[in-house]
A and B are shown apart, each in its own frame.
Chain A
Amino acid sequence: MTRSARRTRRMLQVAGAGAAALLTLSACSSSDSDSSDSSKKKSDSSASDKLSGEVTVFAAASLKESFSTLRDTFEKEHPGTKVTFSFGGSDSLAASITGGAPADVFAAASPKTMKIVTDKGDAAGTPATFVRNQLEIATLPDNPDKVASLKDLTKSGLKVVLCDKTVPCGAAAQKALDASKLKLTPVSYEQDVKSALNKVVLKEADAAVVYKTDVKAAGDKVEGVEFPESANAINDYPIALLKNASDNKVAKAFIELVRSAEGQKVLTEAGFLKP
């Protein structure tokens, strides 16, 4: 009885040690590839000015995936830096920035929301457009309701969610609907693009008008349907350094990365259009 218990314990110990060894090995291999990767980059990004410190980025909800990827790249390239995000509807982010929220960089989903910040004098320097985003219809997987156009969304009995008109994706959707003289009554005006998308992901709504990037990010949980009217309502995404970060080198470096070829590659892979 006791002997067998002891034996099991020893076996467990051996197994544990084995697992630990495996873990260290795999950790080694992954960090190996990392270090070679970053050392390559470090050589061309001049190690002379060593960056350290923190940067707080307020970014539109639709940028969540690509900016998180860029953060990993950035923190790897500049050890000692830390990038913190606040993602949300561009309007509420703009409202919190003008209300005094401690943000260093603002990446908005529309020039209109950026203007709220620049009008209050909260931006340092002029905003620059770094990507553009086009709308797309997100439907349930395999498109059971056979949605093929923007007009199909007006079918009765179809539960469609839109972003609220105060949010860029909602304003763009309204623009596309107006341009094609369609009247669409959604079941809900959501507070940002991710909550609109999630209503379809959770299968509570049949379709939502969101960005191409959101459809891509949701993978096979939704199906994307492109519609030609979206060409009339493409949103420019401006990025700007904010007033209280005017001499924050880390913040400047992050904006540079977003606008660099490397940053653009990540963003276009996520479905954004080049500016």
Chain B
Amino acid sequence: MTSPDRTGAAEALIRGPRRRRVRGGVPLPLLLPSLIGLAFLLVPLVALLIRAPWSSLPDLLTSTEVWQALQLSLVCATAATAVSLVLGVPLAWLLARVEFPGRGLVRALVTLPLVLPPVVGGVALLMALGRNGVVGRWLDAWFGITLPFTTTGVVVAEAFVAMPFLVISVEGTLRAADPRYEEAATTLGASRFTAFRRVTLPLIAPGIAAGAVLAWARALGEFGATITFAGNFPGRTQTMPLAVYLALQNDPEAAIALSLVLLAVSIAVLAGLRDRWMAPA
């Protein structure tokens, strides 16, 4: 859970592993568990492919409900990532660059949604932003805004779960980045905000990209907080994971087909991002 580790992992995701060969053979105590680990991660995905109802797949996937769910998933995950970027990057900067009492505690609280079961997150969101919630009550009374059961509610739930990934990733990159560049910029007359915009942001761009991908992937797969906070209605709040879960109840084949779509989208996005940002370091 230490931030540098996570960022390292995140950046490896984007840039690809550094090519450095281990000299000599790989020791067995490392090779064996690593191969088991690899199989453990890959076998379920392969099983999904083997059991996929390939013949009926076209019919299953051309239904409007699937496309609705997929479209909604993509839109909401992207919107949640945008929200996370707008709020998360400044938060990460605050945590990395500004000394204030209780900073460690704040950092721990920010990462809490990472370890919290998403359903608990959903309940917490209802308590805060529900129609009768601590904040939601005033949103309803003053602006007539209610978030549960709306597409915006899905975005809120996904952002709540996904933003910590971005904050952790960006904060780690910020800590690794040399603050002297910013200091130099300020001594040359730039304001602190200009220094952030012109020096820090370009410097930590790969970390932000890595964090955004992690957050997007997390938002795309988000289930618990979404179904608890935003409910489940086709075309409005039923994202792909919800559709998969409910399809599994009466039509496992449809669930597998939907899972394949989600898997394909995830692979496509990760592969696409790798091509764009991959630069053999």
Contact = CB atoms under 8 A, between A and B. Distances in A.
Contacts of B130: 202-204
Interface string A153-197: 000000101001011000000000000000000111111000100
A110 to B, nearest CB: 12
B254 to A, nearest CB: 11
A191 B246 CA distance: 7
B231 interface: yes
A166 B231 contact: no
Contacts of B173: none
A164 B245 CA distance: 11
A218 to B, nearest CB: 16
Interface in A203-221: 203-205
Interface in B172-201: none
Contacts of B252: 95
A12 B89 CA distance: 53
A91 B246 CA distance: 9
Contacts of A204: 126, 130-132, 148-149
B237 interface: yes
Given A91-B249, A204-B126, A204-B148, A188 B131 contact: no
Nearest to B229: A204
Q: Pick the most buried of A91, A92, A161, A204: most chain B CB atoms within 10 A of its CB.
A: A204
Q: Specify the main secondary structure of chain B where it touches its partner.
A: loop
A199 B231 contact: yes
A199 B131 CA distance: 11
B244 to A, nearest CB: 12
B44 to A, nearest CB: 13
Contacts of B245: 191
A238 B234 CA distance: 31
Interface in A8-33: none
B246 to A, nearest CB: 6
Interface residues of A, number: 21
Contacts of B234: 189
A191 B132 contact: no
A89 interface: yes
B231 A92 contact: no
Contact of B231 (A89, A167, A187, A203): A187
Given A161-B231, A199-B231, A203-B132, A188 B237 contact: yes
A188 B238 CA distance: 9
A157 B22 CA distance: 66
B132 A89 contact: no
A186 B233 contact: yes
Interface of A: 89, 91-92, 95, 159, 161, 164, 166-167, 186-191, 195, 199, 202-205
Interface of B: 126, 130-132, 148-149, 227-228, 230-234, 237, 245-246, 248-250, 252
6 contacts: A89-B249, A92-B249, A187-B231, A190-B232, A191-B245, A204-B148
Given A166-B246, A190-B231, 17 more contacts: A92-B248, A95-B252, A159-B149, A187-B148, A187-B233, A188-B149, A188-B232, A189-B231, A189-B232, A190-B232, A191-B245, A195-B227, A195-B228, A203-B131, A204-B130, A204-B131, A205-B149
